[in-house]
Amino acid sequence: MSQRRPTAQDVAKRAGASRSAVSMVMNGNADGNVAPDMQERIRSAAAELEYTPNPIASGLRRQRSQMIGIVTDEAASSPFAGRMLAGASKAASERGYLTVIADAGAPNADPSSFIDELRRRRVDGLLLATQRLRTVDVPDGLRLQPGILANCRDRLDSFPSIIPDEIRGGREAAEHLIGLGHRRIAWVGGDDDVDAAPARIAGLQAALASAGLPGAELHAGEWDISDGYRGAERIFERPTDQWPDAIFCACDRVAVGVLLYAGAHGISVPGDVSVMGYDDQRHLADATVPGITTMSLPHEAMGREAARRVIDELEGAPTDEAATTLLQCPLVARASTAPRTSRAA
Amino acid sequence: MSQRRPTAQDVAKRAGASRSAVSMVMNGNADGNVAPDMQERIRSAAAELEYTPNPIASGLRRQRSQMIGIVTDEAASSPFAGRMLAGASKAASERGYLTVIADAGAPNADPSSFIDELRRRRVDGLLLATQRLRTVDVPDGLRLQPGILANCRDRLDSFPSIIPDEIRGGREAAEHLIGLGHRRIAWVGGDDDVDAAPARIAGLQAALASAGLPGAELHAGEWDISDGYRGAERIFERPTDQWPDAIFCACDRVAVGVLLYAGAHGISVPGDVSVMGYDDQRHLADATVPGITTMSLPHEAMGREAARRVIDELEGAPTDEAATTLLQCPLVARASTAPRTSRAA
DNA sequence: TTGAAAGCGCTAACAG
DNA sequence: CTGTTAGCGCTTTCAA
């Protein structure tokens, strides 16, 4: 099956060079050390032999595995985590690192043992990524080599992390609504068990305040479709003149619930009321009728940035960056929001 | 940050033993080679020093990386792949292997370059896993070390693979329905672009035939919610006495479409008609009202089995197993199916 | 500019 | 039963 792979020695022999010359050429350190024509001969010998340097041997020598580990609380079942992992893998791979993923499998599992396992494997750097935005206690193992938090923040705010700028997201979502002429905005869903809800609400209220509008009425609840449905129920059972112009939902699932209620009760979205989601959840925000206008959680960018920063750190790049990096949530305009029309009472 | 890690040498010195003794103890080859009390001293020295063998060094020596690679066409965005990856990772980890995942990111991406990349990293074995059941051409790289297909099969049927037994699944689903007293069963959704649909239909027809019932009427279509909705529309627009007793949907999303149509038109499920799904898609089959009775795709088991077989092979275990292994799809009974009631016309 | 030599930390064969 | 030895394939100093 796997015939013996060629080594640098084989390449050297074929090219009439020394092993060290081969090494230098393969690592791009040859200029100024190996004659140009010799470089060329080495390169073609390597190509003919289909030689690829053995990363295990080089890892042993330079005390580097060229792997970065990602431990996550729930990658497997999540509609989001994939984007974060993909972003991190791609960024790492572009810099010559392989990502290895350890999935704790449950939202509240203790990541320490997975961090230890990855450290045993000698990963060069470590990301701790959570499925939902959370505050965490940084496990000790994370401090023993370059590490970073993705989509979660240190309870003590002393460990580097990459998280979405939820306050700004809430504000920009509200500004979008206000820009469409809406004045009365209601919030539905999203209790404060999760860090995101208070931040989004804060942004919303700030935007209303700067526009000189009254604060939003809050219909807090959970994060699911049924919570959106119930929230809409409470809102639309009132007389029409007490309806809000727009509903800002804690997340896209809640928005689906609002849409379902509206559909079942002859309320037009966005004709009678605009509906705004949050998260840009795949196969959901883009799959409803109307499609949900929403704020996109920058999962891919978080993965990418986290990988970049860890690799920068372990390669000794200047690390003058702030501990916590906030990433913007871009607005994704779809059909569930529209300019305000004066409603027939 | 990362202070120097202890080596086997350090442990040997502390225990007053030789490096090889330490190695044997750490690898469980000590009995009969190292005196019991010495083993004990080595073990406690290792514990005190928090020594863990360097897998890079041992990998170099034994020409093994203890990693198995998984290349997949769409892990990131899939609601299923996670379970397969989790199954494989867990099984591999229990045998001392780390899984590394390369996600091609698109359903039709060519996996060859990802296989090559993982081979460059010297993975000991390789799984090629697809998101949907498919027939594939085995990339050359897969043959150069132990490898296996998961959720896809070789076009030539000569390379080992683990796939769900869709025919049996279709049959057992139909038997469940027939057992409830249903006699007229309609199939909705699932064209034959994907290998699963014809197999499920074949199982369905076989079950009907052995029960002496007429064949199912087929409303082929795609795999989405809207296809289920349209299929239901065609079925229920006919006079009541032409309605089937049960609808076997190509997948859970299609079943959701049927449920939506029924809900919007006052048709009771399972009172008027039973609805059967397939896939057991998380957050879907279990989240509707009523919950969807469905056949569970054995993703976790496929991952587990695939990892097991690859590791068996590379560890030289007897490989007398058939090339293609079929795994059962267990029935998950929920509330969308019920015994037949004589319907009021 | 080149090549020889010294390991990285570990395992496995072999001699004591 | 124990300890010594010879590398695995690579990188990186250092002397020529």
Å from the A39 CA to the C1 C1'? 12
Average pLDDT estimate for A224-250: 94
Contact B85 A79 (CB under 8 A): no
Distance of CA B146 to the CA centre of its chain: 19
Distance (Å) from the alpha carbon of B129 to chain A's nearest alpha carbon: 15
Q: From CA B190, how far away is CA B168, in angstroms rounded? A: 17
Distance (Å) from the alpha carbon of A212 to chain B's nearest alpha carbon: 41
**A235 contacts: CB under 8 Å, gap ≥ 6:** A186, A188, A219, A243, A244, A247
Distance of CA A1 to the CA centre of its chain: 40
**Chain B: residues touching A (Cβ < 8 Å):** 1-2, 52, 54-57, 59-60, 65, 75-79, 82-83, 85-86, 89, 93, 98-103, 105, 117, 120-122, 143-146, 225, 282, 287
> Which overall architecture, per CATH, does domain B166-297+331-344 show?
3-Layer(aba) Sandwich (3.40)
Q: From CA A98, how far away is CA A104, in angstroms rounded? A: 19
If you average pLDDT over every residue of chain A, what do you get?
91
Neighbouring CB atoms inside 10 A of A229's CB total 20
A233-238 — which CB contacts under 8 Å span 24+ positions? A233/A261, A235/A186, A235/A188, A236/A261, A236/A262, A236/A265, A236/A267
Report phi then psi at B112, rounded to 5. -55, -45
Contact A1 B86 (CB under 8 A): no
Whether omega for the bond prior to residue B79 falls within 30 degrees of 0, making it cis, is no
Which of chain C's bases lie under 7 Å from a protein CB? Answer: 1-5, 7-13
pLDDT score, position B187: 98
Contact A76 B98 (CB under 8 A): no
Instruction: Report the phi/psi class of residue A51: left, alpha or beta, with left for phi > 0 and alpha for psi in -120 to 50.
Output: beta
Host H or E run for residue B161: strand B161-164
pLDDT digits (tens, 9 = 90+) for A103-116: 888 877 889 999 99
Report phi then psi at A113, rounded to 5. -65, -30
- Burial (0-12, 13-18, 19+ Cβ within 10 Å), B146: buried
B1 pLDDT more than 70: no
> Which overall architecture, per CATH, does domain B63-165+299-327 show?
3-Layer(aba) Sandwich (3.40)
A344 pLDDT more than 50: no
Distance (Å) from the alpha carbon of A75 to chain B's nearest alpha carbon: 7
Beta strands in A59-215 (DSSP E): 67-72, 98-103, 125-136, 147-154, 161-164, 185-188
Query: Among the ranges A6-10, B14-18, B75-79, B175-179, which has the highest mean pLDDT value?
Result: B175-179
Between helix B8-15 and helix B36-49 the angle, nearest 10°, is 120
Q: How confident is the model at residue B195 (pLDDT cuts 50, 70, 90)?
A: confident
Instruction: Report the phi/psi class of residue B123: left, alpha or beta, with left for phi > 0 and alpha for psi in -120 to 50.
Output: beta
Q: Residue A145: closest CA among chain B residues belongs to which residue?
A: B2
DSSP string, B40-98: HHHHHHHHHHT----HHHHHHHHT---EEEEEESSTTT-TTHHHHHHHHHHHHHHTT-E
Contact B2 A122 (CB under 8 A): no
Q: How confident is the model at residue B115 (pLDDT cuts 50, 70, 90)?
A: very high
Least confident of A157-171, B19-33, B182-196, B308-322: B308-322
Same fold, B63-165+299-327 and B166-297+331-344: yes
Write the residue in A60, A105, A225 that is nearest to B56 by C-beta. A60
Q: How confident is the model at residue A2 (pLDDT cuts 50, 70, 90)?
A: low
Q: From CA A251, how far away is CA A166, in angstroms rounded? A: 12
pLDDT score, position A341: 85
Q: How confident is the model at residue B106 (pLDDT cuts 50, 70, 90)?
A: confident
pLDDT score, position A345: 41
DSSP string, B314-332: HTT----S-SEEEE---EE
pLDDT digits (tens, 9 = 90+) for B266-315: 899 999 999 999 999 887 888 777 899 999 999 999 999 999 999 999 99
- Encoded amino acid at A305, one letter: E
Distance (Å) from the alpha carbon of B16 to chain A's nearest alpha carbon: 24
- Asked if B111 contacts B53 with a C-beta cutoff of 8 angstroms, the reply is no
**A339 contacts: CB under 8 Å, gap ≥ 6:** A180, A181
Residues in contact with strand D, defined as Cβ under 7 Å from any of its atoms: A 4-5, 7-9, 19-20, 22-24, 26-27, 29, 51, 53-54, 57-58, 60-62; B 17-21, 32-35, 38, 57, 60-61, 63
Domain layout of chain A by residue ranges? 1-32, 63-165+299-327, 166-297+331-344
Q: How confident is the model at residue A296 (pLDDT cuts 50, 70, 90)?
A: very high
Average pLDDT estimate for A261-289: 88
